[in-house]
Structure 1
Amino acid sequence: MLKYRTLDTPTGPLTVVVSPTGAVRAAGFTTDVADLLSLVHPSLLAPAEPADDVGPVARHVRSYLDGDHTAIDAVHVEQVIGGSFISHAWQVMRDIKPGSPVTYSEFARLSGRPAAVRGAAAACARNPVALFTPCHRVLRLDGTLGGYRWGLPVKTWLLAHEAGHSTAAVEAGVVR
């Protein structure tokens, strides 16, 4: 049985779905648990119920929001996809440092396939554990935000928070 909890953040609700071992299987800036469960690979899917206790995940999110931008690195995630490139890219994405976003081209290179820019973008788009596998840290080639499943205001806030800048600075392209 999976458990889920919705946490309050400055950008709105963040719902996390965790396994019996406490690994995050889905996360997103929404209260729509069904939408999140649709992102989970069928081999990891199970019924989910609300819970007050989702292990240390809530504590790590709170620490992240309080300024310890590496706190979410300690959260274990379980992600599965059919292709090996995307699975590998998700692991690489977890190594992108807060405050140091990369472009899709750089992300493809870091993932070992410099020509796979579309594959890098697909890894971001198919990421079921937003925040913990930080697809928000990947930008367009020109340094602009690009897309984000949970909305550009959320992505803008996350990047500004991690860089220690205002969201206006991120929106204006001053911060990358």
Structure 2
Amino acid sequence: MTSTIDAQVLPTPTGPLSLLVHEGVLVAGGFTDDPGAMFARLPVALRELPLRTVPDLGKPAQAVRDYLDGDLFALDLVELDQPGTPKRQRLLAALRAVPAGTTVSYAELAEHAGLPRTAARAAGAACAQNLIAPFVPCHRVLPSSGGFGGYYYGTPVKEWLLRHEQAL
């Protein structure tokens, strides 16, 4: 049996959310109705596998439904995997540890990752290359200068997520 990348598109109040799973592990998630757009961002080895749409991914899809219903910690329980250097992995782990309902600055994120000498720019790059939104909650990172900063899926999506988590 050939391994596949399984995809499901879920409706959310802020637009469609595509989830991609490989062998039961979430490898991509993003606010788009096109799973192919998420698939194109995966590492080469995963892009060599067939992409197929399925009616229900199980645990990751249920976690999204639970999150939208108010269980703000449901996404934390989903197993996921994304590529990156050891430094990037530390930043992504620190990002995943930012609790719902709170925000941090890019500099604070670097500090929480144990990388205080890392410029906020490296933390920003980790967010920009994050493949698994909102499970790795880059929407919870705000610039220390104020405002919302950037978000791969647009500021309105970031604002909605923060409002949903009551971090605004």
Q: Which TM bucket (shorter chain)?
A: over 0.9
Partner of 1:138: 141
TM-score (norm 1): 0.88
Unaligned runs of 5+ in 1: 165-174
CA distance in 2 between counterparts of 1:109 and 1:38 reads 31
The alpha carbon displacement at 1:35 in A equals 1.6
Q: Match of 1:149, as an amino acid?
A: Y
Question: Is the CA contact 1:39–1:126 (under 8 Å) kept in the aligned structure 2?
Answer: no
Unaligned runs of 5+ in 2: none
The alpha carbon displacement at 1:56 in A equals 1.0
Q: 2:34 aligns with which of 22, 27, 32?
A: 32
Percent same amino acid among aligned pairs?
40
Which ranges of 4 or more aligned residues in structure 1 deviate by more than 3 Å?
Answer: none
1:41-84 per-residue CA deviation (whole Å, 9 max, x = no partner) reads 22443221000121211111011001110000011111112x21
| Secondary structure of 1:139's aligned partner | coil
Q: 2:94 aligns with which of 92, 95, 99?
A: 92
1:83-129 per-residue CA deviation (whole Å, 9 max, x = no partner) reads 21111111111100001110001001111112321110110000000
CA distance in 1 between counterparts of 2:91 and 2:148 reads 19
CA distance in 1 between counterparts of 2:146 and 2:75 reads 24
Partner of 2:161: 158
Alignment of 1:78-117 (within 5 A): 78-81=81-84, 83-116=85-118, 117=120
Please, what is the CA RMSD of the aligned residues? 1.2
Q: Give the stretch that moved more between structures: 1-10 or 143-152.
A: 143-152
Q: How many corresponding residue pairs?
A: 163
Partner of 1:127: 130
| Secondary structure of 1:108's aligned partner | helix
